[in-house]
């Protein structure tokens, strides 16, 4: 049976559905989550949307965003869990970890190449965003994409492609975006809210990161200490685009940001340009992601993690460098 047919069957047989996306949610995570939440609630299902993080305010324009909760309701007998944009179970944080046994039937819909196929039903596709997958899924199911759902899905498409600029964008991506605009999605508003506007603390973070940046053998990296974070009041667990700046320098193959968190662990973000692949690197360190964008969490201290990352990245650059002629 095809995924669509199995998914349809799972939905038809379920009354209480829990949709979950990853911690530290981005536009694809919240766009996919709210699109699924809207569609299922229209079908008359009892739907809980959960994400184990605070909601970033720039996504306030999304319909249903105010219904996203941090924990599942443990009194509700969920018969289905839909994981969206999660490469593994850990990405769901305590929403999944704290869910009482027996856990519900899990459907895993994701576009990370490092996905562990943790669901009972899995759809993992090589696609620029989970939202683009959801668009195709709704179409195949014959579910209407109204203006609000289109806004959610286009938010995912636009943010995960950084405004259609990543190397995995295809003509299909543009056709999907076009169809979503025709359904009423407001592209300029999405671009302004999610890509252009940023809190001042983001630029303060870039300021610190750019001051510390180092470049050696095609690797450009920087470190942010938890004291830096405290000083500028930065609470996000991603570097909010700083790592993209580093990887976009023309002599650079891989860009890395190491950020020391309050609990002493180190969040590491990787970016690269083709043909360099950072997904395998991140996976080796217990993380995951895409060939050109990946991440992991390491034990401290910062200096030790930094030394290990520099070593691993330099080896990867040497091994993956195309022949000179």
Q: What are phi and psi of 298, to 5 degrees?
A: -120, 160
Nearer to Mn ion, 50 or 124 (CB): 124
Nearer to Mn ion, 30 or 81 (CB): 30
- Residue 85 as a binder of Mn ion (CB under 5 A): the answer is yes
Nearest-approach distance from CB 156 to Mn ion, in angstroms: 7
- Residue 28 as a binder of Mn ion (CB under 5 A): the answer is yes
- Residue 13's contacts (CB-CB under 8 Å, 6 or more residues apart) are 79, 80
Nearest-approach distance from CB 204 to Mn ion, in angstroms: 26
- Residue 306 as a binder of Mn ion (CB under 5 A): the answer is no
Stretch that binds Mn ion, among 125-133, 141-149, 161-169, 189-197 (CB under 5 A): 125-133
Stretch that binds Mn ion, among 28-36, 117-125, 194-202, 301-309 (CB under 5 A): 28-36
Nearer to Mn ion, 150 or 302 (CB): 150
Nearer to Mn ion, 19 or 253 (CB): 19
Stretch that binds Mn ion, among 127-135, 185-193, 220-228, 307-315 (CB under 5 A): 127-135
Task: Give the whole-angstrom CA distance, residue 262 versus residue 265.
Answer: 7
Nearest-approach distance from CB 299 to Mn ion, in angstroms: 26
Instruction: Tell me the residue nearest to Mn ion as measured from the CB.
Output: 28
Stretch that binds Mn ion, among 2-10, 129-137, 147-155, 301-309 (CB under 5 A): 129-137
Nearest-approach distance from CB 168 to Mn ion, in angstroms: 11
Q: Which residue has the tokens 């599942």?
A: 72
Task: Copy the structure tokens of residue 253.
Answer: 């193959």
**Residues in 153-182 at the binding interface with Mn ion, rule: CB under 5 A:** 160
Nearest-approach distance from CB 28 to Mn ion, in angstroms: 3
Task: Give the whole-angstrom CA distance, residue 285 versus residue 287.
Answer: 6
- Residue 110 as a binder of Mn ion (CB under 5 A): the answer is no
- Residue 228 as a binder of Mn ion (CB under 5 A): the answer is no
- Residue 262's contacts (CB-CB under 8 Å, 6 or more residues apart) are 226, 229
Nearer to Mn ion, 129 or 222 (CB): 129
Task: Copy the structure tokens of residue 217.
Answer: 């053998």
Bridge-based pairing of strands 266-272 and 293-298 is antiparallel
**How many residues sit close enough to Mn ion to count as binding (CB under 5 A)?**
4
- Residue 134's contacts (CB-CB under 8 Å, 6 or more residues apart) are 32, 35, 36, 84, 109, 153, 156
Contact 124, 115 (CB under 8 A): yes
- Alpha carbons within 13 A on the beta-carbon side of 152: 25
Structural element, H or E, at residue 290: strand 288-290
Q: Which residue has the tokens 């998914």?
A: 7
Task: Give the whole-angstrom CA distance, residue 112 versus residue 118.
Answer: 13
Nearer to Mn ion, 110 or 306 (CB): 110
Nearer to Mn ion, 46 or 191 (CB): 191
Nearest-approach distance from CB 7 to Mn ion, in angstroms: 19
Nearest-approach distance from CB 112 to Mn ion, in angstroms: 7
Task: Copy the structure tokens of residue 201.
Answer: 């603390």
Nearest-approach distance from CB 111 to Mn ion, in angstroms: 6
Terminal-to-terminal C-alpha distance of the chain: 48
Residue 166 is given by DSSP the state: S
- Could you list the residues that contact Mn ion (CB under 5 A)? 28, 85, 130, 160
């Amino acid at each position: 049976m095809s995924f669509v047919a199995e998914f349809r069957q799972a939905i038809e047989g379920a009354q209480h559905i829990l949709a979950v996306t990853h911690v530290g949610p981005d536009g694809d995570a919240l766009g996919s989550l709210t699109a699924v939440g809207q569609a299922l609630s229209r079908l008359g299902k009892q739907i809980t949307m959960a994400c184990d993080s605070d909601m970033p305010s720039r996504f306030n324009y999304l319909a249903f965003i105010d219904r996203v909760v941090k924990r599942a309701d443990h009194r509700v007998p969920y018969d289905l869990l839909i994981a969206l944009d999660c490469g593994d179970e850990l990405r769901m944080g305590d929403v999944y970890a704290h869910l009482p046994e027996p856990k519900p039937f899990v459907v895993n819909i994701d576009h990370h190449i490092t996905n562990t196929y943790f669901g009972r039903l899995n759809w993992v596709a090589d696609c620029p965003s989970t939202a683009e997958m959801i668009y195709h899924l709704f179409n195949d199911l014959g579910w209407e994409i109204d203006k609000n759902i289109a806004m959610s899905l286009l938010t995912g498409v636009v943010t995960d492609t950084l405004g259609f600029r990543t190397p995995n964008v295809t003509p299909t991506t543009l056709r999907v975006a076009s169809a979503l605009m025709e359904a009423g999605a407001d592209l300029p508003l999405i671009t302004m809210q999610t890509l252009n506007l940023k809190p001042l603390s983001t630029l303060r973070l870039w300021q610190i990161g750019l001051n510390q940046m180092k470049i050696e053998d095609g690797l450009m990296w920087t470190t942010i200490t938890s004291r830096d974070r405290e000083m500028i009041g930065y609470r996000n667990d991603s570097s909010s685009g700083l790592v993209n700046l580093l990887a976009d320098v023309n002599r650079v193959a891989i860009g890395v940001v190491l950020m020391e968190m309050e609990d002493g662990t180190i969040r590491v973000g990787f970016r690269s340009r083709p043909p360099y692949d950072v997904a395998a690197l991140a996976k080796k360190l217990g993380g995951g992601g895409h060939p050109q964008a990946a991440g992991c969490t390491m034990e401290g201290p910062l200096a030790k993690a930094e030394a290990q990352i520099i070593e691993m990245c330099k080896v990867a650059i040497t091994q993956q460098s195309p022949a000179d002629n």
